[in-house]
Protein backbone atom coordinates (compact mmCIF):
# COMPACT_ATOMS: atom_id res chain seq x y z
CA UNK A 1 0.00 0.00 0.00
CA UNK A 2 1.36 3.40 -0.98
CA UNK A 3 1.09 5.84 1.93
CA UNK A 4 -0.94 9.04 1.57
CA UNK A 5 1.52 11.94 1.21
CA UNK A 6 2.56 13.74 4.36
CA UNK A 7 0.52 16.96 4.56
CA UNK A 8 1.46 17.82 8.16
CA UNK A 9 3.18 21.04 7.02
CA UNK A 10 -0.16 22.49 5.82
CA UNK A 11 -2.27 24.39 8.34
CA UNK A 12 -5.92 25.35 8.78
CA UNK A 13 -4.90 28.77 7.42
CA UNK A 14 -3.67 27.15 4.20
CA UNK A 15 -7.02 25.39 3.88
CA UNK A 16 -8.83 28.74 4.08
CA UNK A 17 -7.52 29.39 0.59
CA UNK A 18 -6.57 25.97 -0.81
CA UNK A 19 -8.68 22.84 -1.26
CA UNK A 20 -8.15 20.38 1.57
CA UNK A 21 -7.84 16.79 0.29
CA UNK A 22 -11.20 15.07 0.64
CA UNK A 23 -13.06 11.97 -0.59
CA UNK A 24 -12.64 12.98 -4.23
CA UNK A 25 -8.88 13.37 -3.78
CA UNK A 26 -8.63 10.00 -2.02
CA UNK A 27 -10.69 8.26 -4.71
CA UNK A 28 -8.21 9.54 -7.29
CA UNK A 29 -5.30 8.25 -5.19
CA UNK A 30 -7.01 4.85 -4.94
CA UNK A 31 -7.55 4.78 -8.72
CA UNK A 32 -3.87 5.53 -9.31
CA UNK A 33 -2.86 2.86 -6.84
CA UNK A 34 -5.15 0.35 -8.58
CA UNK A 35 -3.32 1.18 -11.85
CA UNK A 36 0.14 1.12 -10.25
CA UNK A 37 1.59 -1.68 -12.40
CA UNK A 38 0.06 -0.31 -15.59
CA UNK A 39 1.44 3.15 -14.85
CA UNK A 40 4.90 1.78 -14.16
CA UNK A 41 4.93 -0.28 -17.33
CA UNK A 42 4.18 2.86 -19.35
CA UNK A 43 7.63 4.23 -18.42
CA UNK A 44 6.19 7.72 -18.51
CA UNK A 45 8.34 10.78 -18.96
CA UNK A 46 5.86 13.60 -18.22
CA UNK A 47 2.97 13.79 -15.75
CA UNK A 48 0.73 16.86 -15.69
CA UNK A 49 -1.83 17.61 -13.01
CA UNK A 50 -4.36 20.35 -13.65
CA UNK A 51 -5.65 21.99 -10.46
CA UNK A 52 -3.12 20.47 -8.07
CA UNK A 53 -4.45 22.23 -4.94
CA UNK A 54 -2.47 20.95 -1.95
CA UNK A 55 -0.15 18.89 -4.17
CA UNK A 56 -1.33 15.64 -2.61
CA UNK A 57 -2.09 13.82 -5.88
CA UNK A 58 1.14 14.57 -7.73
CA UNK A 59 3.18 13.81 -4.61
CA UNK A 60 1.39 10.45 -4.49
CA UNK A 61 2.04 9.56 -8.12
CA UNK A 62 5.61 10.75 -7.59
CA UNK A 63 5.97 8.06 -4.96
CA UNK A 64 4.63 5.45 -7.38
CA UNK A 65 6.77 6.41 -10.35
CA UNK A 66 9.91 7.84 -8.82
CA UNK A 67 12.28 10.58 -9.89
CA UNK A 68 12.66 9.73 -13.60
CA UNK A 69 9.37 11.49 -14.42
CA UNK A 70 8.90 15.25 -14.92
CA UNK A 71 6.02 16.24 -12.64
CA UNK A 72 4.20 19.38 -13.76
CA UNK A 73 1.27 20.93 -11.92
CA UNK A 74 -0.90 23.92 -12.67
CA UNK A 75 -3.48 25.77 -10.60
CA UNK A 76 -5.30 29.06 -11.08
CA UNK A 77 -4.97 29.68 -7.36
CA UNK A 78 -1.49 31.05 -6.47
CA UNK A 79 -1.77 29.80 -2.86
CA UNK A 80 -2.39 26.30 -4.23
CA UNK A 81 0.82 26.52 -6.25
CA UNK A 82 2.75 27.40 -3.10
CA UNK A 83 1.18 24.49 -1.20
CA UNK A 84 1.88 22.12 -4.10
CA UNK A 85 5.56 23.07 -4.02
CA UNK A 86 5.83 22.66 -0.26
CA UNK A 87 4.04 19.30 -0.35
CA UNK A 88 6.43 18.09 -3.03
CA UNK A 89 9.37 19.15 -0.85
CA UNK A 90 7.83 17.57 2.26
CA UNK A 91 7.50 14.25 0.42
CA UNK A 92 10.78 14.35 -1.52
CA UNK A 93 9.01 14.61 -4.86
CA UNK A 94 10.60 17.12 -7.23
CA UNK A 95 7.68 18.84 -8.94
CA UNK A 96 7.01 22.13 -10.71
CA UNK A 97 3.93 24.22 -9.96
CA UNK A 98 2.80 26.78 -12.50
CA UNK A 99 0.19 29.39 -11.66
CA UNK A 100 -2.19 29.49 -14.61
CA UNK A 101 -5.38 28.14 -16.08
CA UNK A 102 -5.53 24.53 -17.29
CA UNK A 103 -2.38 23.71 -19.31
CA UNK A 104 -2.43 27.08 -21.05
CA UNK A 105 1.05 28.23 -19.98
CA UNK A 106 2.55 24.98 -21.29
CA UNK A 107 0.34 23.63 -24.04
CA UNK A 108 2.45 24.73 -27.02
CA UNK A 109 5.48 22.86 -25.65
CA UNK A 110 3.56 19.81 -24.44
CA UNK A 111 1.69 18.92 -27.63
CA UNK A 112 1.14 15.13 -27.63
CA UNK A 113 3.94 14.76 -25.06
CA UNK A 114 2.19 14.08 -21.76
CA UNK A 115 1.92 10.48 -20.63
CA UNK A 116 -0.25 11.04 -17.56
CA UNK A 117 -2.81 13.83 -17.18
CA UNK A 118 -4.70 14.19 -13.89
CA UNK A 119 -7.65 16.46 -13.16
CA UNK A 120 -9.88 16.57 -10.11
CA UNK A 121 -11.88 19.58 -11.30
CA UNK A 122 -14.40 21.90 -9.69
CA UNK A 123 -17.34 19.61 -10.45
CA UNK A 124 -20.13 20.90 -8.19
CA UNK A 125 -23.20 22.18 -10.10
CA UNK A 126 -23.72 25.91 -9.41
CA UNK A 127 -25.35 28.81 -11.19
CA UNK A 128 -23.16 29.66 -14.18
CA UNK A 129 -22.16 33.06 -12.80
CA UNK A 130 -20.72 31.47 -9.66
CA UNK A 131 -18.30 29.36 -11.68
CA UNK A 132 -17.11 32.20 -13.90
CA UNK A 133 -16.71 34.51 -10.87
CA UNK A 134 -14.74 31.79 -9.06
CA UNK A 135 -12.45 31.30 -12.05
CA UNK A 136 -11.78 35.03 -12.05
CA UNK A 137 -11.22 35.27 -8.29
CA UNK A 138 -8.66 32.39 -8.28
CA UNK A 139 -9.49 31.56 -4.66
CA UNK A 140 -11.04 28.66 -2.75
CA UNK A 141 -14.42 28.88 -4.57
CA UNK A 142 -12.57 27.87 -7.75
CA UNK A 143 -11.98 24.49 -6.15
CA UNK A 144 -15.62 23.46 -6.38
CA UNK A 145 -17.81 25.88 -8.40
CA UNK A 146 -18.54 24.05 -11.64
CA UNK A 147 -21.45 25.98 -13.18
CA UNK A 148 -24.16 24.28 -15.20
CA UNK A 149 -24.19 20.50 -14.47
CA UNK A 150 -20.86 21.14 -12.74
CA UNK A 151 -19.24 20.96 -16.18
CA UNK A 152 -18.42 24.49 -17.25
CA UNK A 153 -14.77 24.32 -16.15
CA UNK A 154 -14.24 20.65 -17.04
CA UNK A 155 -15.73 21.15 -20.50
CA UNK A 156 -13.07 23.70 -21.40
CA UNK A 157 -10.34 21.22 -20.58
CA UNK A 158 -12.05 18.30 -22.31
CA UNK A 159 -11.77 20.22 -25.56
CA UNK A 160 -7.97 20.40 -25.35
CA UNK A 161 -6.79 17.31 -23.46
CA UNK A 162 -6.39 15.21 -26.62
CA UNK A 163 -3.80 17.74 -27.86
CA UNK A 164 -1.73 17.11 -24.74
CA UNK A 165 -1.63 13.36 -24.34
CA UNK A 166 0.98 11.18 -25.99
CA UNK A 167 0.01 8.11 -28.02
CA UNK A 168 0.34 5.90 -24.95
CA UNK A 169 -0.97 8.63 -22.63
CA UNK A 170 -3.83 8.38 -20.18
CA UNK A 171 -6.06 11.00 -18.65
CA UNK A 172 -7.66 10.50 -15.22
CA UNK A 173 -10.69 12.66 -14.47
CA UNK A 174 -12.81 12.87 -11.31
CA UNK A 175 -16.53 13.35 -11.95
CA UNK A 176 -19.85 13.13 -10.12
CA UNK A 177 -23.11 11.65 -11.39
CA UNK A 178 -24.58 15.13 -12.04
CA UNK A 179 -21.82 15.74 -14.60
CA UNK A 180 -23.51 13.13 -16.85
CA UNK A 181 -20.70 10.61 -17.10
CA UNK A 182 -22.18 8.60 -20.02
CA UNK A 183 -22.41 11.80 -22.06
CA UNK A 184 -18.80 12.77 -21.24
CA UNK A 185 -17.55 9.33 -22.29
CA UNK A 186 -19.51 9.29 -25.53
CA UNK A 187 -18.42 12.82 -26.44
CA UNK A 188 -14.75 12.09 -25.80
CA UNK A 189 -14.98 8.95 -27.92
CA UNK A 190 -16.75 10.43 -30.90
CA UNK A 191 -15.22 13.90 -30.91
CA UNK A 192 -11.70 13.24 -29.67
CA UNK A 193 -11.03 9.54 -30.29
CA UNK A 194 -10.49 8.81 -26.60
CA UNK A 195 -12.04 5.69 -25.17
CA UNK A 196 -12.67 5.41 -21.46
CA UNK A 197 -13.42 3.23 -18.51
CA UNK A 198 -14.62 3.93 -15.00
CA UNK A 199 -11.71 2.93 -12.78
CA UNK A 200 -13.47 3.41 -9.44
CA UNK A 201 -16.75 4.74 -8.10
CA UNK A 202 -17.73 5.51 -4.54
CA UNK A 203 -20.51 7.26 -2.68
CA UNK A 204 -19.34 10.06 -0.38
CA UNK A 205 -22.23 11.70 1.44
CA UNK A 206 -24.54 13.00 -1.27
CA UNK A 207 -21.93 12.68 -4.00
CA UNK A 208 -21.58 9.67 -6.28
CA UNK A 209 -17.93 10.06 -7.29
CA UNK A 210 -16.13 8.31 -10.14
CA UNK A 211 -12.67 8.32 -11.62
CA UNK A 212 -12.67 7.99 -15.40
CA UNK A 213 -9.62 6.98 -17.38
CA UNK A 214 -9.28 7.98 -21.03
CA UNK A 215 -6.81 6.47 -23.49
CA UNK A 216 -6.42 6.95 -27.21
CA UNK A 217 -8.58 4.63 -29.27
CA UNK A 218 -5.97 2.21 -30.77
CA UNK A 219 -7.50 2.59 -34.22
CA UNK A 220 -6.91 6.34 -33.99
CA UNK A 221 -3.31 6.39 -32.77
CA UNK A 222 -1.45 9.04 -34.75
CA UNK A 223 1.09 7.73 -37.25
Ligand X SMILES: C[S@@+](CC[C@H](N)C(=O)[O-])C[C@H]1O[C@@H](n2cnc3c(N)ncnc32)[C@H](O)[C@@H]1O
For ligand X, the binding residues (CB under 6 A) are 19, 21, 25, 28, 50-54, 56-57, 74-77, 80, 101-102, 120-122, 135, 142-143, 153
State which residue, 19 or 214, has the beta carbon closest to ligand X: 19
Minimum distance, C-beta of residue 145 to ligand X, in the bound complex (Å):
9
Write down the least CB distance from residue 175 to ligand X, Å.
Answer: 11
Closer to ligand X by Cβ: residue 34 or 193: 34
Tell the smallest beta-carbon distance from residue 116 to ligand X (Å).
Answer: 14
**Residue closest to ligand X, measured at CB:** 51
H helix or E strand, kind and range, residue 80: helix 78-90
d(C-alpha 5, C-alpha 20), whole Å: 13
- Helix ranges (DSSP H) in 18-77: 23-34, 36-41, 56-65
Rounded distance between C-alpha atoms, residue 209 and residue 27, angstroms: 8
CB of 111: closest distance to ligand X in angstroms? 18
Q: Which residues pair with 176 in a beta bridge?
A: 209
Contact call for residues 146 and 153 (beta carbons, < 8 A) = yes
- Which of these, 131, 18, 115, lies nearest to 75 by C-alpha position? 18
Closer CB to ligand X, 59 or 166, in the complex = 59
Distance in angstroms (rounded) separating the CA atoms of residues 169 and 46: 10
Of the two residues 77 and 91, which places its CB atom closer to ligand X in the complex?
77
Which lies closer to ligand X via its Cβ, residue 73 or residue 188? 73
Is 115 within 8 Å of 45 (Cβ atoms)?
yes
End-to-end CA distance of the chain: 38
Nearer to ligand X, 53 or 88 (CB): 53
| Minimum distance, C-beta of residue 26 to ligand X, in the bound complex (Å) | 9
Q: How far is the CB of 21 from ligand X (least distance, A)?
A: 5
Amino acid sequence: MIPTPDLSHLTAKDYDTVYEPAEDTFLLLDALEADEQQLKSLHPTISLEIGSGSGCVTSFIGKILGPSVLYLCTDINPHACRCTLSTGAQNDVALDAINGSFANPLSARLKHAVDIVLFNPPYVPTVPYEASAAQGARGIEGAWAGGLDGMSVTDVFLECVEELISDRGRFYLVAVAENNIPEIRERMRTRHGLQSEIVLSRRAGRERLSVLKFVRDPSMVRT
